[in-house]
Structure 1
Amino acid sequence: MEYINEINSEGFVIIDNVYDENEIKKLISIIENVTKNKTDKTTFRKSEDLFAIRQFHKEIPETLDYIFNENLKDIIKSIFDENYFITKSIYFDKPEKSNWFVAYHQDLTISVDKKLEIENFENWTTKQNQFAVQPPKEILENNFTIRIHIDKTTKDNGALKVINNSHSKGIQRIENIEIKKEKETICEVEKGGVMIMKPLLFHASNKTTNNERRRVIHIEFSNTELPDGLEWSEKTKLN
């Protein structure tokens, strides 16, 4: 119950010790075995500052049994319900000397299978044959994201910083928020821990300054069926 209250009031919660050392090693081994041979795929993005795999759970499905261990399944069941499914996943690897940073933003789009003219679905984009759209805020308010930390994440290697409770105020523009008057939290997470957050929570990520790697598996969830034949492009039900 405490996790539910924290997510509702703050927009996020950090839970340590979800994965043990052996589970983390297995995840790293599976990811490295695949990525050393497949970096030319369109879902793989590599630069000096970031390596990312989009549609991660589809590209490397062997990881799912380790990601959804009994600890994580119990957490999802106790906080949310059994009707949630995966809608999107990304693997981020921020190298030791990364200058990559992300400014404050809300996660306002979802990945879908096609473009349709549907009321209150707007700001359509297409990237690498992937359609994205901003749905009604009620859908976003109902969704959640889990970030699985393969490395210890601190303020010095790009831990997320968030504006507490900003998820409760709907869709906003960051320039309309007086950040100095808001409570900010740097979300440091131990290796093997997770951060659960709401999409409308304003969050940002700074550059790495301590020469330590930061790897995160980012998975988005919903329990909402989309209207008029529109489908989540990466929809995967949990076992």
Structure 2
Amino acid sequence: MVDKSIKNYVEEVQTNGYAIVEGVFSSNEIEAIRKEIERESDSSKETFRKSKDLFAIRQFLKEIHSVEKLLFNATLKNILENFFDKNYFVVKSIYFDKPEESNWFVAYHQDLTISVDKKVEIEGFSNWTIKQNQFSVQPNKEILKNIVTIRIHLDDTNEENGALKIIPKSHEEGIVRLDTFDFKNHKEISCNVRKGGIMIMKPLLFHASNKTTNKERRRVIHLEFSKSNLPKELSWSEQHSIN
């Protein structure tokens, strides 16, 4: 069960860049989510990436849309409304499955891109890429600051199976070049989360993950939310309101 006021979690995220909320989903809810993903997964699609180290589904809510009713329970909606009131929407959704033998790791980084419908030259938007028919761009800092990421954990996650490592409060420094950030003078924390819990974080928080060493699977649903409008020439490619 969520064990303290949700407003306290909002304050933690604003101050430290992250918060962990345990017990957002029951064991039965997690099992139903897992089964729905397995039932609907089709790795032949372009949005599915599969290797011995990682299985990922991009545009997850579009590809496995039947899972939405299971994900957005009353507790998660309450958490989101405390961040955004009722005007929020999904702007990115990814499913990550790190298998038991995974040697895949991610170095420290900030999440600096958003997914949009097309490429347009606009001041303040740079570093355009396209992958799997998906345009990505780095927007201005204000748009990034107003995104909230929620990671739903379908397995127990710790230092040994790829839990996120983060640098608390690093989001306060804005967009920072990795080679200029002084990691030696900042404390690193492993964000261990039990099955059914969530991690809430700001995209500008420095984060990383290690290789799996305990032969335990790690499945996470990564959802990004905003209520910011883009310039009229652009649209969020995955914009989706939650009923």
> Which TM bucket (shorter chain)?
over 0.9
Tell me which stretches of 4 or more aligned residues in structure 1 moved more than 6 Å: none
Unaligned runs of 5+ in 1: none
**Quick one: which of 94, 105, 108 aligns to 2:109?**
105
- Deviation string, structure 1 residues 146-205 (Cα, Å, up to 9, x no partner): 000000000000000001100011100122122121021100000000000000000000
1:94 aligns with 2:101: no
Distance 1:102 1:171 in 2: 18
Matches within 5 A, 1:161-180: 161-180=165-184
Give the TM-score taking structure 2 as reference length: 0.96
1:157 aligns with 2:161: yes
Distance 1:10 1:184 in 2: 12
1:117 aligns with 2:143: no
1:7 aligns with 2:10: no
Aligned match of 1:207: 211
- Deviation string, structure 1 residues 29-64 (Cα, Å, up to 9, x no partner): 1001112xx111000000000000000000001111
Aligned match of 1:54: 58
Aligned match of 2:231: 227
Aligned match of 1:83: 87
Distance 1:30 1:198 in 2: 28
Structure 1 counterpart of 2:98, one-letter code: K
Distance 1:155 1:9 in 2: 24
1:19 aligns with 2:46: no
Report how far residue 80 of structure 1 moved. Answer: 2.9
Distance 2:10 2:33 in 1: 28
Distance 1:178 1:30 in 2: 43
Unaligned runs of 5+ in 2: 1-6
Give the TM-score taking structure 1 as reference length: 0.98
Aligned match of 1:194: 198
Structure 2 counterpart of 1:5, one-letter code: E
Distance 1:179 1:123 in 2: 25
2:149 and 2:223 in contact (8 A); partners too: yes
1:55 and 1:88 in contact (8 A); partners too: yes
Structure 2 counterpart of 1:116, one-letter code: V
* Secondary structure of the corresponding residue to residue 118 of structure 1: coil
* Secondary structure of the corresponding residue to residue 80 of structure 2: helix
Distance 1:56 1:123 in 2: 24
Report how far residue 115 of structure 1 moved. Answer: 0.5
CA RMSD of aligned residues (A): 0.7
Distance 1:54 1:224 in 2: 22
Distance 1:123 1:174 in 2: 16
Distance 2:203 2:88 in 1: 15
